[in-house]
Chain A
Amino acid sequence: DQQVKQNSPSLSVQEGRISILNCDYTNSMFDYFLWYKKYPAEGPTFLISISSIKDKNEDGRFTVFLNKSAKHLSLHIVPSQPGDSAVYFCAAAGGSQGNLIFGKGTKLSVKP
């Protein structure tokens, strides 16, 4: 049973436009959420995180929104750039040990 779901395997966006990546979770014990970006044959690179006590966090072109009642979070990238093309993973943590539960990822393609 998948606790973190990314229902869109892929997303294609024009350069300069907004990219919106979505993530749903089922476990209400999750209290910390992260987005990672991954290129082939490399480890995930941390992008941005949000605690469950907040509903928005911004870092430059990246903004994460958290809707706890809907158990939904989203990552907005504005403006999108071709270098943003990668697989994006949503991850959630809860409990004392803090191991992350990942979604299956969304492959973002930003076209020039």
Chain B
Amino acid sequence: DTGVSQNPRHKITKRGQNVTFRCDPISEHNRLYWYRQTLGQGPEFLTYFQNEAQLEKSRLLSDRFSAERPKGSFSTLEIQRTEQGDSAMYLCASSATRPDTQYFGPGTRLTVL
């Protein structure tokens, strides 16, 4: 069990650029979640995959955000035309069943200048 991994760990970009983050879940976990955390807040749910199917999206996930999980393995989160308000820690978590403990990756810190 190597845990959940996320890449890159840090990303600095200019406003208007597109960015893509990757999450590799724990290998036997079929559920994958994306969250966003800003300063002084707890993580906030963005979207959820069961295997390759995206089953739930938060209203926080504007149309500039898109997530995929091809073949039910790793997942990517893309933000198009980044805005300064997108600056946050983006967290990925995975779990085996519901209810079950979600294990988080180290996060990707996005800074939009």
Give chain A's interface residues, CB within 8 Å of chain B. 4, 31-32, 34, 36, 41-46, 49, 51, 89, 91, 93, 96-105
**What is the chain A residue whose CB lies nearest that of B100?**
A98
Tell me which of A4, A34, A102, A105 contacts B101 (CB under 8 A).
A34
Q: Are the C-beta atoms of B42 and A91 separated by less than 8 Å?
A: yes
Q: Are the C-beta atoms of B99 and A99 separated by less than 8 Å?
A: no
Q: Are the C-beta atoms of B101 and A46 separated by less than 8 Å?
A: yes
Q: Which residues of B contact A104 (CB under 8 A)?
A: 40-42
A42 to B100, CA, bound (A): 21
**What is the chain A residue whose CB lies nearest that of B55?**
A97
Of B13-21, B43-51, B71-79, which binds chain A? B43-51
| CB within 8 Å for A99 and B42 given contacts A43-B107, A44-B104, A49-B101 | no
Q: Are the C-beta atoms of A32 and B99 separated by less than 8 Å?
A: yes
What count of chain B residues pass the 8 Å CB interface test? 30
Cβ contacts B72-107/A at 8 Å (1 or 0 each): 000000000000000000010101001111111111
Q: Are the C-beta atoms of A105 and B56 separated by less than 8 Å?
A: no
Counting chain A CB atoms within 10 Å of each CB, the highest count among B31, B42, B95, B102 belongs to B42
Q: Which residues of B contact A99 (CB under 8 A)?
A: 33, 45, 48, 56, 58
**Nearest Cβ on chain B to A3's Cβ, whole angstroms:** 11
Q: Which residues of A contact B45 (CB under 8 A)?
A: 99-101
Q: Which residues of A contact B41 (CB under 8 A)?
A: 104
**Nearest Cβ on chain A to B8's Cβ, whole angstroms:** 13
Q: Which residues of B contact A34 (CB under 8 A)?
A: 101-102
Q: Are the C-beta atoms of A100 and B102 separated by less than 8 Å?
A: yes
Q: Which residues of A contact B58 (CB under 8 A)?
A: 99
A98 to B107, CA, bound (A): 20
Q: Are the C-beta atoms of B43 and A89 separated by less than 8 Å?
A: yes
| CB within 8 Å for A98 and B101 given contacts A42-B106, A91-B42, A104-B41 | no
